[in-house]
Structure 1
């Protein structure tokens, strides 16, 4: 199933254990993020994985940013 607002990202319990992947591939969002964190450029990722596009990499970044956005709740002292 593709995710609302993220048509290039999908989750399927039968693919990669239900982890978010680039739609139509078995490349997990986490894999893309780890490559970027390791210093790979978008162009290098697309060259290494020709079935991915720059838009796919950007979608993985956008999805990651959206899922880490949450309200900060501080306990009352």
Structure 2
């Protein structure tokens, strides 16, 4: 499952540099996660790093983008082969 950033985001800028896939960027109002690049840190870390550093706990799983660990690993492999 990709992650999303909710409207509770305070634009603190701690999540963006933690993303190993470069999936997080500043949107018009709050930070956003590109679901095509989000692997929940599978292939890099045991847990999503953005969730670990977020001070307001505003990065849940995206219920519209359900992916299992195998799919996340396949996405990681595809992203790192480029």
The TM-score normalised by the length of structure 1 is 0.30
- Higher relative contact order, structure no. (Cα contacts within 8 Å, ≥ 6 residues apart): 2
Larger Rg, first or second structure (1 or 2): 1
Structure with the bigger percentage of strand: 1
Structure with the bigger percentage of helix: 1
